[in-house]
């Protein structure tokens, strides 16, 4: 059972089939008491992957897998999973609304996908295996309960986002910012740090003595500076780039 982010990286690097990926995901779900259900990993050919692809994709290139870990900053697995387990959606969800772009914010695509697929899932590309579609055998009762399933949709997306951002940070791709210089100001770091720790906008407003709109403004500013679709992706990117305390 992995206890460090390096062990997760090693497991992804060594995965030559779907079995070790399934075992890795099951161990994380069990260890952190997530209600996703057992992992279902299906290897796909490129033409299959293109059809009905999950909106959230994790892409690790051959170059990413070859990056040495010695001397690199690796966020603790506990910080990643704390963020994953705490994220939720405080909203009244009308499935029709989330078919309209812009209504669902950062989680719009994942929520829209759930409406049609009725599954928690993401795509995972590792060069040493076929493209994989990762899903979970979530209880039908949970899937039918709006209050229970909303947080799970967000959790799975945030988990996949962390995997993707970790790969990008390891590679330092051209579209990433310099790992040595953070573009975030102190206020933006405070907000992202709070999100990473599982604090809600209301909690952060009280702690920082700010209105909730002011907190959201800082979060939006951070996401824009980092080229992210929302504050949770920004928190993941900043964490793996070493700009947030873990």
Instruction: Compute the mean pLDDT over every residue in the chain, rounded to the nearest whole number.
Output: 84
Is the pLDDT at 54 greater than 60? The verdict is yes
- pLDDT, position 159: 96
- pLDDT, position 214: 93
- pLDDT, position 224: 92
Model-level pTM? 0.90
- pLDDT, position 179: 53
Strands 39-44 and 121-125, how do they pair? unpaired
- Per residue in 117-170, pLDDT (tens digit) is 999 999 998 877 668 899 999 999 999 998 899 899 999 999 999 999 999 888
> Which residues, 6+ apart, have CB-to-CB distance to 197 below 8 Å?
82, 83, 86
Is the pLDDT at 175 greater than 70? The verdict is no
d(CA 138, CA 181): 41
Give the mean pLDDT of 188-198. Answer: 94
- pLDDT, position 158: 95
Least Cα distance to 111 among 162, 81, 146 occurs for 146
Tokens of 28: 């994380």
Is the pLDDT at 201 greater than 80? The verdict is yes
> Which residues, 6+ apart, have CB-to-CB distance to 44 below 8 Å?
130, 131, 132, 133
d(CA 193, CA 114): 29
């Amino acid at each position: 059972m992995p206890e460090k982010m390096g062990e997760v990286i090693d497991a992804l690097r060594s995965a030559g089939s779907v079995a070790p990926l399934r075992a890795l995901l099951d161990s994380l779900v069990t260890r952190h008491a997530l209600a996703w259900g057992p992992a279902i990993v299906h290897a796909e050919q490129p033409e299959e992957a293109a059809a009905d692809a999950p909106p959230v994709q994790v892409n690790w290139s051959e170059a990413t897998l070859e990056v040495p870990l010695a001397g690199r900053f690796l966020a603790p697995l506990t910080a990643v999973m704390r963020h994953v387990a705490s994220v939720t959606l405080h909203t009244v969800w009308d499935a029709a609304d989330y078919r309209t772009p812009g209504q669902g914010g950062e989680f719009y695509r994942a929520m829209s996908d759930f409406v049609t697929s009725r599954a928690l899932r993401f795509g995972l590309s590792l060069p040493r295996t076929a493209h994989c579609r990762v899903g979970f055998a979530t209880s039908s009762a949970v899937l039918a309960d709006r209050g229970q399933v909303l947080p799970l949709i967000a959790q799975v997306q945030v988990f996949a986002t962390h995997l993707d951002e970790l790969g990008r940070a390891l590679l330092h791709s051209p579209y990433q910012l310099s790992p040595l210089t953070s573009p975030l100001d102190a206020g933006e770091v405070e907000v992202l740090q709070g999100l990473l720790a599982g604090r809600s906008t209301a909690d952060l407003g009280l702690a920082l003595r700010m209105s909730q709109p002011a907190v959201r403004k800082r979060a939006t500013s951070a996401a824009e500076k980092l080229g992210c679709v929302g504050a949770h992706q920004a928190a993941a990117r900043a964490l793996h780039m070493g700009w947030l305390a873990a």
